[in-house]
Structure 1
């Protein structure tokens, strides 16, 4: 406005219209399903908190003047909710299935499978274009195959999410997603032969040598396709499953490997702030259900009655508190959760 001083003399309606045109296009974001622990057993039919939301950045136009900020706040691109970690209101918007990615982890997989297959959620699932799932939450393969073939029939991308882009990763070990605003970064196909996966669930115990990521992704695709063919899972519509000569495949779905990166600012020379997206999940690994892992972190279950409204409160801030070893053991006792130690040693 300094270069166009007459702008302030325009009618307010015209100023609002101009600022609305200055708003940037919506950026694709990732929606992390919450709570991070959703129990289908022994507590039946728990569901994710709705509505699904995504963190966003402040649009630059919101910092120009009061009128521009008013336009930004009334658009669908920017809403505010309280963040206890930040100490002030932070921007968010509702999840948009056409551009955003819906992510869930191992401790939510059963609940999301049930949620997406419910008839009342069919229209939502049809709109999904990008799904990302923690590798530890992708077994058994029939769940993802059913979701895509029966409900998310127009899905374009299915991502298997690892805690980092390097090294070897157990397919049975879970991790917490970032606590701050984050994105999913592709693991380039050029490194798929170098990244290894251990304790691969679809192999017999004696065959479980580390498997290259490329081989793992190919096998997961084949397993899902064989399930659809073997159980004759039919659907007349959609682009994810391509039928041909009485058979078919998920050739309409691009299968990728990704990892989370979290937005961070660091102070560098001359007290300048440097912004970057950094991998953090390799430092947020969780324990399994084996007794010997009870001392490792576990996501805290938040009872339905205690869940806050995700439109008013940044609920992911609460998941920075993990169960202690004693709390986890107490939960196992209270829920009468039982497991076979020998099974976990050999599977």
Structure 2
């Protein structure tokens, strides 16, 4: 049989002619493969009202298991039989925002992006971020506030338990000027990351204010990303000069160029609203600025605006994240 005849035969084939067991197998194989999704651990890190650098700040316990939202399988809209198969092979949990069960699956470290937001005081308050509390991941996305000038970022990218291969700097909005002193809450709906387009005329799409505590530098986005890689490499090279580092920490380390071999890029959030993907900056985004009195002043740090979960959110860890979408109440979209 020629290819043309075979194609005509397949085109004219009636699936209903197959036995039920074979039809179910066809529907099963018609389900699409998993695509990259964004995992936003819950709860977001809480910050004490009083920050004393020498104190061990309260530890946030991130809610396990780590999960990602997915799209509804197309097979749910083909026929009743395909819908039954799709439902049987898909996991659902209730979403207050959607008002119905929504699909999800377990976080896949080799495929999905782990979004990290950590409250970091500006230098010289050298409090090491708690990178180790997150699950194994190969693709990490951090907001500007978590990255700052790149200090201590080598601990994250050099962590042998994570095997970081790509690092994404997440910009909060399309504003031309952004500040590393500001935090923003990530989307609560299903979201994804899209590349930040760069001008072709050599100009910069964004200007980044880098808050280092003792000064604030303004630089273009392209240069900012370059300096992140340089800063991580320089810090790690200094460590290698004074200490012996286990071999597993050198997995991504390029000794000849004194840098980590990882991809660094800038992206922004998109979220699924009203049946289409829209920029997260198209609606209200909750921001918070970290204003910290330096320890050298020997004054209590009362000026920190606490970035903490609300009273309604405190009971969320009591819920089962596999039956209730806890991320829904990060913003003000769900009344309680």
For the aligned pair, the TM-score class normalised by the smaller chain equals 0.7 to 0.9
Inter-partner Cα distance in structure 1 for 2:239 and 2:250: 19
Deviation at 1:237, TM superposition (A): 4.1
Q: 2:234 aligns to what? A: 226
Q: Which residue of 1 aligns with 2:63?
A: 49
Q: Give per-residue Cα distances to partners, 1:213-268, cap 9 Å, x unaligned.
A: 112111121111111111127342478623334x6311x20101111111222xxx
Contact preservation (8 Å) 1:242, 1:248: yes
Cα deviation, 1:186-216, whole Å, max 9, x if unaligned, reads 1124377231012x134742xx242111121
Match of 2:102 among 81, 90, 98: 90
Residue 162 (structure 1) aligned to one of 149, 158, 171: 171
Match of 2:83 among 48, 61, 69: 69
**Contact 2:233-2:258 at 8 Å conserved across structures:** yes
1:261–1:277: 8 Å Cα contact kept in structure 2? Answer: yes
Q: Distance in 2 between matches of 1:319 and 1:279?
A: 14
Structure 1 pair 235/165, CA: closer, same or farther in 2 (3 Å)?
A: farther
Secondary structure class of the residue paired with 1:91: strand
Indicate how the Cα distance of structure 1 residues 213 and 47 shifts in structure 2: closer, same or farther if over 3 A, else same. same
Structure 1 position 130 matched with structure 2 position 139: yes
| TM-score normalised per structure 2 | 0.76
> 1:28 is matched with which residue?
36
With over 3 angstroms needed to count, the CA separation of the structure-2 counterparts of 1:282 and 1:194, relative to structure 1, is farther
User: Aligned-pair distance for 1:169?
Assistant: 0.7
| 2:252 counterpart residue number | 241
Matches within 5 A, 1:1-347: 6-38=14-46, 44-75=58-89, 78-107=90-119, 112-116=130-134, 124-125=135-136, 128-139=137-148, 141-152=150-161, 154-190=163-199, 193-198=204-209, 200-202=210-212, 204-205=214-215, 208-232=216-240, 234-237=245-248, 241-245=252-256, 248-250=258-260, 252-265=261-274, 275-280=276-281, 283-290=284-291, 299-300=309-310, 302-303=313-314, 306-321=317-332
The secondary structure found in structure 1 opposite 2:273 is strand
Structure with more helix by fraction? 1
CA contact (8 A) 2:91 2:104 kept: yes
Give the C-alpha shift of residue 151 in structure 1.
2.6
Give the CA deviation at 1:141.
3.3
Cα deviations by residue, 1:312-337 (Å, 9 ceiling, x for unpaired): 11111121249xxxxxxxxxxxxxxx
| Unaligned residue ranges in structure 2 (runs of 5+) | 1-10, 49-54, 122-127, 292-301
- The answer on whether the counterparts of 1:106 and 1:174 sit within 8 Å (CA) in structure 2 is no
Cα RMSD (Å): 3.3
Contact 1:30/1:182, CA 8 A, preserved across alignment: yes
In 1, Cα distance between equivalents of 2:246 and 2:199: 35
The 2-side partners of 1:321 and 1:212 are apart by 33
Q: Cα gap change, 1:32/1:281 in structure 2, threshold over 3 Å: closer, same or farther?
A: farther
Measured in 2, the distance between the counterparts of 1:104 and 1:37 equals: 9
CA contact (8 A) 2:237 2:258 kept: yes
1:340 — aligned with what? none
Structure ID, larger Rg: 2
CA separation in 1, counterparts of 2:37 and 2:208?
27
